[in-house]
Structure 1
Amino acid sequence: MQVVFHHARREEAEHVLANVENLLGDDTVAVEDVAVVANADGVRTLTARSEHAIRVRTLREDDGVRFAACRNSLRSRDIEASALADGVETVPAGVGELARLQDDGYGYVKD
C-alpha cells in the first residue's frame, strides 16, 4: 500500500505525524511507501526550526517517509527552500503532487 498524507494546517502537525506513525506501526497493513505533502501553512512544519523537525527527520531517516513542501506556499510565506529540514523535497505545487501521487495509486489522507 502507498499512502500520501496532505498536510495544510500547521496546527494539525501533531495529528498528521501521529497518523503517519500509527500507519507505520500497524502490522495489519502492508505499507510500501508513505509521503507527506505540505502546502499552505503546513510547510512551516517542515522547516529546520520547527518544533517537529526532529520527528520529521526520524520518520524520514528511520522509516523512509518522503516529505515534500509546496514551492508556491513557501514563496507566499517568504520561506526559502534552504530553511527546510534536511531531506525535505520541494515540489512546484502541492496540489499537483497530490494529484500525481493519487494517479500513481497512492491512497489519500487529509490532516
Structure 2
Amino acid sequence: MEYKVIFHIDENARWQMLLGNVENLLAASESGHMTVEVLANGEAVQKYASSILGNGNESDQSLTAKMASLHREGVTFAACRNAMRASHLTEEDLQSFVVTVPAGVMELVTRQSQGYAYIRP
C-alpha cells in the first residue's frame, strides 16, 4: 500500500515533536511505500536557515542534522515563500535540501486534493 502524508508546522517550538513524528511514521511503515512532505510556514521557516545565518545554537544544529538525515530517507522539506519573505529569507539562505513553494496554504490544499493525509503535531 502507498501512503502520502504532509506534516504542517508554523511554530518553532514544535520542530522536535514534528521530526520525532516523522521518524516514528517512517519506522512504522516498513510494509508500505511512504511519501512524506514537511511544510513550514510562519516562523517555522526560520529553522530551515538558522545555521546558514550564523545564529544557530546546538539545538538548531541538531534539528538541521535530523532534517538532513530524514531528507536522505526521502522526506521532502518545503518552505512557504510568503513566510520566507516575512522573515527576510531568500532561497540562498535555506539549507540545500529545502524546496520552496509559493504559498504554504495552497501547498496544503494541493496535497490534500492529491490524497495526502494532513498532520499538524
TM-score greater than 0.5 by the shorter chain: yes
Alignment of 1:15-54 (within 5 A): 15-27=17-29, 30-47=32-49, 49=51, 50=56, 51=60, 52-54=63-65
Gaps of 5+ in 1: none
Identity fraction in percent? 35
Q: Which runs of 4+ in 1 moved over 4 A?
A: none
Q: Is the 8 A contact 1:8 1:39 kept in 2?
A: yes
Per the TM alignment, residue 28 of structure 1 is displaced from its structure 2 partner at its CA by: 6.6
Tell me, in whole angstroms, the C-alpha distance in 2 between the residues paired with 1:66 and 1:37: 8
The 1:27/1:101 distance shift into structure 2, 3 A limit, reads closer
Aligned residue type for 1:81: E
Gaps of 5+ in 2: none
Question: Is 1:60 the equivalent of 2:71?
Answer: yes
Alignment of 1:60-79 (within 5 A): 60-61=71-72, 63-79=73-89
Q: Is the 8 A contact 2:81 2:102 kept in 1?
A: yes
Match for residue 98 of structure 1? 108
Tell me, in whole angstroms, the C-alpha distance in 2 between the residues paired with 1:60 and 1:75: 24
Q: Which of 96, 99, 107 is 2:117 aligned to?
A: 107
TM-score with structure 1 setting the length: 0.92
C-alpha root-mean-square deviation of aligned residues, in Å? 1.4
TM-score with structure 2 setting the length: 0.85
Q: Is the 8 A contact 1:23 1:29 kept in 2?
A: no
Q: Is the 8 A contact 1:24 1:31 kept in 2?
A: no
Q: Number of residues paired by the alignment?
A: 110
